[in-house]
Structure 1
Amino acid sequence: MNITRENVDALNAIVTVAVAKEDYSANVAKILADYRKNANIPGFRKGAVPMSVIQKQYGKAVLLDEVNKLLQKSLNDYLVQEKLDILGNPLPKVTEDFNWDKEDYTFEFELGLAPEFNVDLTAKTKVTRFVIVADETMLNEQIERIQKQYGKLIPQDKVEEGFDVSGTFSNEEKGIENRTTLSLDIFKDKKTAKEFIGKKVGDVVVLNTKGLFDDDHKLMDYLKVSHDDVHGLDVDVNFTIEEINATELAELNQELFDKLFGEGNVKSVEELKAKIKEDAEGQFAQQADQKFLNDVTESLIENTKFDLPAEFLKKWIQNAGENPLTAEQAEEEYEKSEKGLRYQLIEGKVIVENNLQTTFEELKAFTSDLIKKQMAQFGQVNPTDEEVDGIVARVLSNQDEIKRLSEQIMSEKMINLYKEKVPAKTKEVSYQDFIKEMYGE
Structure 2
Amino acid sequence: MQVSVENTSALERRMTIAVPAERVENEVNKRLQQTARRAKVPGFRPGKVPMSVIRQRYEDAARQEAFGDLVQASFYEAVVEQKLNPAGAPAVEPKSFEKGGDLEYVATFEVFPEFTVAGFDSIAVERLSAEVADADLDNMLEVLRKQNVRFEAADRAAQNEDQLNIDFVGKVDGEVFAGGSAKGTQLVLGSGRMIPGFEEGLVGAKAGEERVLNLSFPEDYQNLDLAGKAAEFTVTVNSVSEPKLPELNEEFFAQFGIKEASLEGFRAEVRKNMERELRQAIKTKVKNQVMDGLLAANPIEVPKALLENEVNRLRVQAVQQFGGNIKPEQLPAELFEEQAKRRVVLGLIVAEVVKQNELKPDEARVREMIQEMASAYQEPEQVVAWYYKNDQQLNEVRSVVLEEQVVDTVLQKATVTDKSVSYEEAIKPVQAPAAD
Do structure 1's residue 369 and structure 2's residue 347 form an aligned pair? Answer: no
Of 194-203 and 116-125, more deviation after overlay is shown by 194-203
- C-alpha change, 1:366 and 1:56, in structure 2 (3 Å) is farther
Q: Which amino acid aligns with 2:73?
A: K
- For normalisation by structure 2, the TM-score amounts to 0.64
Specify whether residues 316 and 251 from structure 1 end up closer, same or farther in structure 2 by C-alpha distance, changes over 3 A only: closer
Give, as a single letter, the amino acid of the residue that structure 1 aligns with 2:347. Q
Identity fraction in percent: 21
> Following superposition of structure 1 onto structure 2, how do residues 27-46 of structure 1 map, counting pairs within 5 Å?
27-46=27-46
**Take 2:119 and 2:426, find their aligned partners in 1: how far apart are those partners?**
27
**Which residue of structure 2 aligns with residue 86 of structure 1?**
86
The one-letter amino acid of 2:280's match is Q
Structure 1 window deviating more from structure 2 (199-208 vs 417-426): it is 199-208
Provide closer, same or farther for how the CA distance between residues 145 and 13 of structure 1 changes in structure 2, counting only shifts above 3 A.
closer
Q: Aligned runs of 1:93-172 on 2, under 5 Å?
A: 93-95=93-95, 98-120=96-118, 122-125=120-123, 127-131=125-129, 138-145=136-143, 154-159=152-157, 164-165=162-163
Distance 2:425 2:210 in 1: 33
Correspondence for 1:280: 274
Q: Secondary structure at the match of 2:90?
A: strand
Match of 2:322 in 1: none
Match of 1:200 in 2: 207
The letter for the 2-side match of 1:353 is: Q
The answer to whether 1:294 aligns with 2:297 is no
1:157 and 1:201 in contact (8 A); partners too: no
What corresponds to 2:424 in structure 1?
431
Alpha-carbon spacing, 1:275–1:41, altered in 2? closer, same or farther (3 Å): closer
1:346 equivalent in alignment to 2:353: no
| CA–CA distance in structure 1, aligned partners of residues 415 and 236 of structure 2 | 52
Offset, 1:104: 1.8
Which residue of structure 2 aligns with residue 325 of structure 1? none
Deviation per residue, 1:333-360 (Å, 9 max, x gap): 977744433222112112222444448x
Aligned-residue offset at 1:41 = 1.9
SS at the partner of 2:49? coil
Give the unaligned 5+ runs of structure 2. 171-176, 223-227, 311-331
**Whole-angstrom distance in 2 between the partners of 1:433 and 1:175:** 42
**1:129–1:292: 8 Å Cα contact kept in structure 2?**
yes
Q: Whole-Å Cα distance in 2 between the matches of residues 89 and 158 of structure 1?
A: 71
What is aligned with 2:53?
53
SS across alignment from 1:200: coil
CA distance in 1 between partners of 2:337 and 2:30 (Å)? 45
> What's the counterpart of residue 26 of structure 1?
26
The one-letter amino acid paired with 1:112 is: E
Distance of aligned partners of 1:333 and 1:55 in 2 relative to their CA distance in 1, 3 Å threshold: farther
User: 1:223-372 to 2 correspondence within 5 Å?
Assistant: 244-246=240-242, 262=260, 266=264, 272=267, 279-308=273-302, 337-358=340-361, 365=367, 369=371, 372=374
Return the offset for 1:57: 1.6
SS at match of 2:207: coil
Offset at residue 436 of structure 1 (A): 7.1
Kept in 2: contact 1:169–1:179 (CA 8 A): no
Q: Deviations over 1:301-344 (max 9, x none)?
A: 2331234566x989999xxxxxxxxxxx9999977744433222
When residues 295 and 37 of structure 1 are mapped into structure 2, their CA distance, relative to the original with a 3 A threshold, is same
Instruction: Give the TM-score of the pair, scaled to structure 1.
Output: 0.63
Q: Provide the rounded CA distance (Å) in 1 between the counterparts of 2:306 and 2:117.
A: 23
Q: Distance between the aligned counterparts of 1:421 and 1:236, measured in 2?
A: 61
Label 1:340 to 1:439 Cα distance change in 2 as closer, same or farther (>3 A): closer
Work out whether residues 89 and 111 of structure 1, in 8 Å CA contact, stay in contact via their aligned partners in 2.
Answer: yes
CA shift in 2, pair 1:63/1:333, >3 Å = farther
Closer, same or farther: CA 357–275 of 1 in aligned 2, 3 Å:
same
Secondary structure, in 3 states, of the residue corresponding to 2:89? Answer: strand
Letter paired with 1:290: T
Q: Which residues in structure 2 correspond to 1:65-84 (within 5 Å)? A: 65-80=65-80, 82-84=82-84
Task: State the number of aligned residues.
Answer: 394
Amino acid paired to 2:36? R
Classify 1:51/1:5 alpha carbon distance in 2 versus 1 (closer, same or farther; 3 Å).
same
| C-alpha contact (below 8 Å) 1:88/1:316 kept by paired residues | no
In structure 1, distance between residues paired with 2:16 and 2:148: 75
Cα-Cα RMSD: 5.6
Q: Is the 8 A contact 1:11 1:114 kept in 2?
A: yes
Deviation at residue 45 of structure 1 after TM alignment: 4.1
Kept in 2, the 8 Å contact 1:134–1:431? The answer is no
Alpha-carbon deviation of 1:40?
1.8
Q: In the alignment, is the contact (CA less than 8 A) between 1:289 and 1:415 conserved in 2?
A: no
The aligned counterpart of 2:63 is: 63
* Aligned-residue offset at 1:51: 1.9
Change in CA separation of 1:36 and 1:139 when aligned onto 2, cut-off 3 Å: closer
Q: For 1:353 and 1:280, how far apart are their aligned partners in 2?
A: 37
Distance in 1 separating the partners of 2:415 and 2:88: 34
